[in-house]
């Protein structure tokens, strides 16, 4: 089992700029794995990437495979091969790259297997289910010299690239604090009894490295996000995007020395395990990151807007003012009177993931991971912040951390949560 055109920004390589291959034989043959929800977006996006073909789709649910094949054909991409067994897909030498849109607990394992099989990988966020997995994934990418992109598409979004550049140029002075917000309304999932496995579903493979337990529909489609065995709560679902923007704006390429996170499951009594309300603070010494999740009725923060009961974005605070940013634009306020000096609104809205897909394909062609806008190491560091916050929340205390060794200081309970018990034979190989 353990086998293996948008903003032309300097340093940002687009697929069309990098394309040097010509003819049908030079296409990037890509397989999408996990095709119920986000995976269908991957099919639609990669079909539009230059000289890229959806060669195969893979899912533990045969119905999803058939629907994905029909979806690709409808979009003009032909009918890809269908796989139920991911290992058989990896044996196919004609597949150059894998796009992973599986549940979180399969991200790192699926990516490492693909890397060992000689494939490049586009891995959805968060790239890991626990902190150790992220570092193992980085090690694998480097050892086998594979191109591994993280699905944090803000890194390829034009107005966010521009805002981060302005922060670096000192538009609000020295930045000392980055705040991330994930106020995304989540209704109660209620209670559901265990039940029969749906026809056509390979439930054992779906569980993978997670513990064996009876099938429960409330722990399956999408709601798996809210259970520790498979997901990381909304801080690791939506929140990892904003966590990444916090690090990006502060130009932090390491992990903090201390973390504290508190919260709880408020209002609803249901099957959900992860908190629906959570606050986290990360201490880097000279700068700080603060992050907040609210799944309940809330209101906007800073200059961000309420959009459909959701407030999702970031605010950066500097010596001379602050900058707020979300999917719809950014605003800069300066001076003691907080004067609005720049207000950028995205009027010609493009799907933010398409440039990110194109960037991945460009790097697959160039063979330079430096050409990626969100290389796997960036994905690991941002996911790790989510894991650190969740560990602090679950242990109920402030934790000291060694960024160089990526381990906690003198806390056995917290250190145990840096990894997991893997259900054989779905163990994680470590190339290092």
Question: Pick from 30, 201, 137: which is nearest to 383 by CA?
Answer: 137
SS3 of 290, please?
strand
pLDDT reported for residue 350: 67
- Are residue 251 and residue 163 in the same domain, yes or no? yes
Q: Can you spell out the DSSP letters for 380-426?
A: HHHHHHHHHHHHHHHHTS-EEEETTTTEESS-HHHHHTTS-PPPTT-
pLDDT reported for residue 11: 37
- Are residue 200 and residue 329 in the same domain, yes or no? yes
pLDDT reported for residue 16: 43
Residue 320 in any domain: the answer is yes
pLDDT reported for residue 306: 75
Is the full-model pTM beyond 0.75? yes
Residue 3 in any domain: the answer is no
Our measurement of the distance from residue 87's CA atom to the centroid of its chain's CA atoms, rounded to an integer in Å, reads 23
pLDDT reported for residue 266: 97
What's the structural domain count of the chain?
2
Asked whether residue 41 carries a pLDDT value surpassing 60, the answer given is: yes
CATH at 197: 3.30.360.10
- Are residue 249 and residue 387 in the same domain, yes or no? yes
CATH at 23: 3.40.50.720
Asked whether residue 10 carries a pLDDT value surpassing 90, the answer given is: no
Structural domain for 213, as ranges: 159-347+382-416
Q: What's the pLDDT tens digit per position in 270-314? A: 999 999 999 999 999 999 999 999 999 988 876 787 777 789 999
- Are residue 335 and residue 190 in the same domain, yes or no? yes
pLDDT reported for residue 271: 98
Q: What's the pLDDT tens digit per position in 215-260? A: 999 999 999 999 999 999 999 999 999 999 999 999 999 999 999 9
- Are residue 31 and residue 144 in the same domain, yes or no? yes
Edge-first strand order for the sheet with 81-83 is 81-83, 52-58, 28-33, 97-100, 120-123, 148-150
CA distance 38 to 54: 15
Confidence grade of residue 15 (pLDDT, cut at 50, 70, 90): very low
Asked whether residue 362 carries a pLDDT value surpassing 60, the answer given is: yes
Residue 427 in any domain: the answer is no
- Are residue 278 and residue 359 in the same domain, yes or no? no
Residue 425 in any domain: the answer is no
Residue 412 in any domain: the answer is yes
- Are residue 228 and residue 338 in the same domain, yes or no? yes
- Burial of residue 257 (number of CB atoms within 10 Å: 0-12, 13-18, 19+): middle
Asked whether residue 9 carries a pLDDT value surpassing 60, the answer given is: no
Residue 424 in any domain: the answer is no
CA distance 383 to 388: 9
Asked whether residue 12 carries a pLDDT value surpassing 50, the answer given is: no
CA distance 300 to 139: 40
Q: What's the pLDDT tens digit per position in 165-195? A: 999 999 999 999 999 999 999 999 999 999 9
Confidence grade of residue 349 (pLDDT, cut at 50, 70, 90): low
Query: 25-29, 331-335, 403-407: which has the minimum mean pLDDT?
Result: 25-29
- Are residue 53 and residue 84 in the same domain, yes or no? yes
What integer best gives the mean pLDDT of the chain? 92
- Are residue 370 and residue 386 in the same domain, yes or no? no
- Are residue 266 and residue 118 in the same domain, yes or no? no
């Amino acid at each position: 089992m353990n086998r293996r055109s948008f903003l032309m920004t300097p340093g940002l390589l687009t697929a069309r700029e990098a394309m040097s291959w010509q003819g049908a034989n030079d296409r990037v043959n890509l397989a999408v794995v996990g095709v119920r929800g986000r995976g269908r977006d991957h099919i639609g996006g990669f079909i539009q990437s230059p000289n890229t073909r959806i060669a195969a789709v893979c899912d533990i649910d045969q119905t999803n495979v058939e629907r994905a094949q029909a979806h690709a054909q409808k979009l003009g991409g032909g009918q890809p091969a269908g796989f139920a067994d991911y290992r058989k897909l990896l044996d196919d030498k004609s597949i150059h790259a894998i796009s992973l849109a599986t549940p979180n607990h399969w991200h790192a394992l699926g990516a490492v297997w693909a890397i060992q099989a000689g494939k490049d990988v586009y891995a959805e966020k968060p790239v890991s289910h626990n902190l150790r997995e992220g570092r193992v994934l980085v090690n694998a990418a480097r050892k086998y010299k594979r191109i591994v992109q993280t699905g944090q598409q803000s890194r390829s979004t034009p107005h966010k690239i521009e805002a981060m550049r302005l922060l670096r140029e000192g538009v609000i002075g020295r930045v000392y604090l980055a705040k991330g917000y994930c106020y995304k309304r989540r209704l109660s999932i209620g209670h559901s009894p265990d039940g029969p496995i749906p026809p056509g579903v390979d439930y054992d493979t779906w569980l993978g490295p997670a513990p064996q337990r009876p099938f429960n529909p409330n722990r399956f489609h999408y709601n798996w996000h809210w259970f520790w065995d498979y997901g990381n709560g909304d801080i690791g679902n939506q929140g990892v995007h904003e966590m990444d923007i916090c690090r990006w704006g502060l130009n932090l390429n390491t992990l903090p020395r201390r973390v504290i996170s508190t919260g709880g499951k408020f209002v609803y009594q249901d099957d959900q395990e992860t908190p629906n309300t959570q606050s986290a603070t990360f201490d880097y010494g000279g700068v700080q990151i603060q992050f907040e999740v609210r799944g309940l009725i809330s209101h906007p923060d800073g200059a961000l807007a309420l959009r459909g009961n959701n407030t999702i974005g970031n605010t950066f605070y500097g010596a001379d003012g602050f900058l707020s940013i979300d999917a719809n634009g950014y605003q800069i306020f300066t001076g003691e009177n907080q004067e609005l000096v720049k207000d950028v609104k995205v009027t010609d809205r493009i799907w933010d993931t398409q440039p990110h897909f194109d960037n991945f394909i460009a790097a697959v062609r160039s063979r330079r991971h430096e050409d990626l806008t969100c290389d796997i190491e960036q994905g690991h560091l941002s996911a790790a912040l989510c894991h650190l916050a969740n560990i602090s929340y679950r242990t109920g205390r402030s934790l000291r951390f060694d960024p160089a060794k990526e381990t906690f200081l003198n806390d056995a309970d917290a250190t145990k949560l840096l990894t997991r018990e893997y259900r054989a034979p779905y163990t994680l190989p470590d190339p290092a």
